[in-house]
Amino acid sequence: MHIDPLEKKWGYVILAIVGLLTAIIVIDALVHHINPPSHVETIDSARLHLSEEFAEDNLGVQVDDKGNIMVRIVAGRYGFYPKQVTVPSGTPLTFRWASMDVLHGIHLPMTNMNTMILPGYVAELKTDFPKPGNYPLLCNEYCGMGHDHMWANITVVAKEHWAAPVKTTSKGGRSHE
């Protein structure tokens, strides 16, 4: 079979592009831990405020008895609650997101924080901010007229300057006095 040399050349170019894209996906997954969400956990979105975990008092940053830092944020038209959290740099963090109404999304550029927040599900992400700074966070799924104004702010401070909130939680997200 005769293949025109020019056609062959373009064939190689296409193979190189496919190889490059595959390499980007593999490197992102293995090195940067950017993966599709795989954590499936359901929750009753209409009763979030009555749930133990996402009740108003339990939102924001909490440290459990083992010292694990957990951040819980509720997304609802048109805001994130709480709108601002402060976390330490260079520390493993677990973020748990829940929607109180419709589909929302979050994306923090240059981090693995990228997920949809589906009503009825808890979106859980583990991340670690290497550097202190201000990380503005926007809703990235169209959720209605106020979508453009739906944002939150994650402030990352140096580990040694971060103080755990006074409120602590026992396992299971229950607050106790």
Q: Which residues bind ligand CUA (CB under 6 A)?
A: 104, 139, 141-143, 147, 150
d(C-alpha 33, C-alpha 25), whole Å = 10
> Least distance (Å) from ligand CUA to the CB of residue 120?
16
CB of 144 to ligand CUA, least distance (A): 7
State both tokens at 21.
């894209």
Q: Which is nearer to ligand CUA, 69 or 154 (CB)?
A: 154
CB of 101 to ligand CUA, least distance (A): 9
Shortest distance in whole angstroms from residue 83 CB to ligand CUA: 13
In this complex, which beta carbon is closest to ligand CUA, that of residue 140 or of residue 175? Answer: 140
Q: Rounded to the nearest whole angstrom, what is the least distance from the CB of residue 99 to ligand CUA in the complex?
A: 8
Closest approach of Cβ 47 to ligand CUA, in Å? 20
> Smaller CB distance to ligand CUA: residue 101 or 124?
101
Is the Cβ of residue 144 or residue 165 nearer to ligand CUA in the bound state? 144
Q: Which is nearer to ligand CUA, 106 or 156 (CB)?
A: 106
**71, 145 Cβ separation under 8 angstroms:** no
Task: Compare residues 11 and 136 and give the one whose CB is closer to ligand CUA.
Answer: 136
CA-closest candidate to residue 135, choices 172, 76, 95, 169:
95
